[in-house]
Structure 1
C-alpha cells in the first residue's frame, strides 16, 4: 500500500493513509457480499478457472504438434536462422506466406 501511495506522488501522511485505506476497504463488513452471493461467486470463479485450463490445454496441444512437425520442413532451417524466430513464430510465418515451391 505504501508503494502505491508513493507512486501516486503522495509525500506526507503515507502511513496514516495506508492504515485508513486498509481499515476502510479490507477490514470492514460492507466490503463483503452476503454468504450466498460469495458462495455463488466462488463457484463461478471455479468454473472460469476450469475454462481457462481447457483453453490452455487447447493451445498447448497444437503448439507441441508444431514443435514436432515444423523442423523437418525444407525451409525450417532458413526461417529459424532469422534472429528472434523460434519454431512457433517461424511456423506461423511460413503459414502466412502460403504454399511455395518447397510444398511439393
Structure 2
C-alpha cells in the first residue's frame, strides 16, 4: 500500500467572510419591482435574509405565526431549521415593518 487510508487531508484554511459592498447591496435591493406583489415579496425576502442571515430554504418555509412583531423576533421551528433545532432570531424594526406589510397584502396577480 502506497497510501495509508486513515491519513486525512488537512483542512484548508477557510477564507473570512467579506462584507458585501454597499453598491452591490443597493443594486440587489433595487432589483425587484416593489409595485407588484411578487416584486415586493422578493424585496422583503432579500431584506429579511440580509437582516437575519437566515438560510433561503428556511426563510421560504416560515409561516405567519413564526413572526412576533411585538418583540421583533422570528422563531425558526425545528421542522424548518436545517440544524433541526428551534432558534429565535432578532428582526430590525425596519425589516419587521416591511414583512408585516407583506403578510397582510393579498396577491393581486393570482
TM category (shorter chain) comes to under 0.3
Report the structure, 1 or 2, having the larger strand content: 2
User: So what's the TM-score if we normalise by structure 1?
Assistant: 0.20
Flag the structure with more relative contact order, 1 or 2, with Cα contacts below 8 A and sequence separation at least 6.
2
User: So what's the TM-score if we normalise by structure 2?
Assistant: 0.19
Bigger Rg, which one: 1
Report the structure, 1 or 2, having the larger helix content: 1
